[in-house]
């Protein structure tokens, strides 16, 4: 299909065998030699060339027309062919160099960072302006819609990934990640433009319009709806059609909903279109069918999110155990970590950190948090006994020192899940839950109005909010650490008694 992909997967961080595999050989200008390119080469060349074009475009309009706003540049470009021709030559000669062969291909770029801040969307629109100047006939901005309630939790798990990684690597073990409780409280304060956003992330109702506003008039915007689709390959529903030719207000049509086997199938076969990408579309369909045939789960989704609320739940428990001294690393464990540290070893926090300043900040924050936590738990202000790590009756407990180990222990050894009343859970008050539901409904009606009007829209959203998100998944809830650790005396008591034999009740904030 004459396509080059320069999205996230082709960048740094992906396995060398994928990013460094030769995929293209291009004849050099002398006609006698060829140059090989890998996905990583093409992403670097693309990003460098695009940033170069943006600088040239902005510098030209700032110097010659005193223009800096994207919308002003857009209006001028649409009627000034002479400037367009001049900039096209500058772009090709100064920015693309030995990567100019890429301009003979369709280019697909994909990255969640496009939604981070307002300026990113305007920048993305300006990039579309550059490709319009280069002569690309079709320009398409595609966004994947996800329901607000699920989206904010996905954004939360993304936000705490750096903290989780520290814990997984054996560092900052006594430092809990940002709590879901505080995160949701912050979101409830959002008003106006930021009402449906969360922290650094802008939702789809903002990103696509802002890209279109800064981009050329020919720019198309499309919304993918894969995450809300039914689990079956074919779905029919009754559609009340009062605008038919029979003048019968009670006439009912049976409508077939368009569904896809994977999000990539929807992207290549529908959003970009089979007419543009027939081979890529067919390839995506083939892969999706193979994956479905080998999957034991009846779940329709072939896309998984590596960060889950379960991870944050178990991380909060383990970090609290470290904080209170229920888990104490052995001298051998500390020495091993110290030897592996390549930057600065923080004795006060028993962690590998960037420098002494970071060490002091971590120790101060940890001690403050520990004091407030203990003051809440123990009326007499005495610290809990240190048992695990210093001769626990079960040596296996000494191996449970991070969230992954605790998660595996709880789910695989005992066959339990934190959502099934095996842990003390606290959920937001009714006002917060109603706000999340109303925002979910209003955003869906705004972004995918036709889908919202189907049985899988408003009615289904209200159902899954109560029965799936809240009751089954406890999506907006967290572990009440004060209840879990109240008067406990050992790590063994926590993981083998309180997380196993207690029948906890779910509480709601007042």
Tokens of 421: 């009343």
pLDDT in tens, 312-347: 999 999 999 999 889 988 888 889 989 999 999 999
CA nearest to 429, candidates 154, 181, 157: 181
pLDDT for the residue 381:
46
Reading the block at residue 55, the tokens are 């600088």
Predicted TM-score of the model (pTM): 0.86
pLDDT single digits (tens) 27-68: 876 666 788 888 889 999 999 999 999 999 999 999 999 999
- Condensed to tens digits (0 to 9), the pLDDT of residues 18-30 reads 667 888 888 876 6
Residue 107 is inside which H or E element, if any?
A: strand 106-108
Please check the confidence at residue 300 and state whether its pLDDT lies above 60: no
Q: Which two tokens stand for residue 39?
A: 């996905």
For residue 128, name the pLDDT band (cuts at 50, 70, 90): very high
Band the pLDDT of 383: cuts 50, 70, 90: very low
For residue 389, pLDDT beyond 70: no
**How far does Cα 255 stand from its chain's mean position?**
33
- At 201, the pLDDT band (50, 70, 90 cuts) reads confident
Mean pLDDT, rounded, for 351-376: 89
Which tokens sit at 154?
């996905």
Structure tokens at 92: 């090709």
Question: What whole-number distance in Å separates Cα of residue 58 and Cα of residue 247?
Answer: 57
Mean of all residue pLDDT scores within the chain: 86
CB atoms within 10 A of CB 7: 14
- Phi-psi group of 232: left, alpha or beta (phi > 0 → left; psi -120 to 50 → alpha; rest → beta): beta
Kindly give the residue spans of alpha helices, DSSP state H, lying in 118-178: 118-133, 148-159, 161-168
Q: Which of 226-230, 272-276, 296-300 has the lowest mean pLDDT?
A: 296-300
Q: Per-residue pLDDT for 379 more than 60?
A: no
- What percent of the chain clears pLDDT 90, i.e. is strictly above it? 60
pLDDT in tens, 408-460: 999 999 999 999 889 999 999 999 999 999 999 999 999 999 999 999 999 99
pLDDT, one tens digit per residue, over 222-252 is 999 999 988 766 777 777 654 544 555 555 5
130-182 confidence digits (pLDDT tens): 999 999 999 999 999 999 999 999 999 988 998 888 888 888 888 889 999 99
The pLDDT value recorded for residue 380 is: 45
Measured CA to CA, the distance from residue 323 to residue 173 in angstroms comes to: 8
């Amino acid at each position: 299909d004459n396509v080059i992909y320069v999205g996230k997967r082709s960048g740094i961080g992906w396995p060398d065998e994928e990013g460094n595999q030769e995929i293209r050989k291009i004849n050099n200008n002398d006609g006698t030699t060829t140059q090989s390119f890998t996905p990583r080469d093409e992403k670097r060349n693309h990003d460098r060339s695009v940033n170069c074009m943006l600088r040239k475009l902005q510098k030209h309009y700032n110097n010659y027309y005193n223009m800096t706003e994207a919308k002003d540049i857009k209006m001028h470009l649409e009627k000034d062919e002479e400037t367009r021709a001049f900039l096209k030559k500058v772009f090709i000669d100064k920015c693309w160099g030995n990567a100019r062969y890429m301009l003979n291909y369709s280019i697909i770029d994909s990255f969640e960072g496009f939604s981070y801040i307002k300026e990113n969307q305007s920048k993305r629109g300006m990039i579309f302006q550059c490709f319009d100047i280069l002569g690309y006939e079709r320009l398409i901005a595609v966004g994947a819609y996800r329901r607000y309630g699920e989206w904010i939790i996905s954004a939360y798990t993304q936000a705490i990934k750096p903290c989780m990684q520290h814990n997984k690597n054996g560092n900052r073990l006594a430092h809990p990640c940002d709590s879901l409780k505080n995160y949701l409280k912050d979101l409830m304060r959002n008003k106006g433009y930021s009402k449906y956003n969360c922290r650094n992330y802008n939702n789809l109702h903002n990103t696509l319009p802002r890209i279109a506003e800064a981009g050329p008039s020919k720019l198309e915007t499309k919304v993918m709806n894969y995450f809300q689709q039914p689990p079956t390959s074919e779905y029919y529903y009754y559609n009340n059609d009062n605008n038919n030719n029979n003048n019968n207000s009670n006439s009912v049509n049976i409508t077939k909903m368009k569904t896809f086997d994977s999000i990539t199938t929807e992207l290549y076969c529908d959003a970009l279109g089979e007419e543009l990408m027939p081979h890529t579309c067919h390839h995506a369909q083939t892969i999706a069918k193979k994956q479905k045939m080998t999957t034991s789960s009846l779940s329709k989704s072939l896309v998984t999110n590596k960060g889950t609320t379960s991870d944050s739940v178990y991380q909060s428990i383990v970090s609290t155990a470290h904080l209170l001294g229920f888990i104490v690393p052995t001298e051998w464990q500390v020495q091993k970590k110290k030897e592996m540290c390549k930057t600065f070893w923080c004795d006060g926090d028993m962690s590998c950190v960037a420098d002494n300043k970071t060490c002091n900040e971590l120790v101060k924050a940890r001690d403050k948090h520990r004091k407030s936590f203990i003051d809440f738990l123990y009326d007499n202000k005495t610290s809990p006994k240190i048992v695990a790590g210093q001769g626990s009756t079960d040596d296996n407990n000494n191996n449970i020192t991070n969230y992954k180990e605790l998660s595996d222990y709880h789910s695989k050894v005992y066959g339990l899940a934190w959502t099934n009343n095996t842990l003390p859970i606290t959920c937001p008050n009714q006002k917060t839950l109603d706000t999340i539901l109303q925002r979910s409904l209003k955003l869906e009606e705004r972004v995918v109005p036709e889908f919202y009007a189907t049985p899988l829209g408003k009615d289904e959203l209200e159902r899954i909010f109560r029965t799936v998100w809240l009751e089954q998944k406890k999506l907006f809830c967290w572990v009440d650490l004060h209840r879990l650790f109240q008067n406990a005396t050992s790590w063994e008591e926590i993981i083998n008694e309180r997380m196993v034999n207690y029948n906890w009740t779910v509480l709601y904030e007042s």
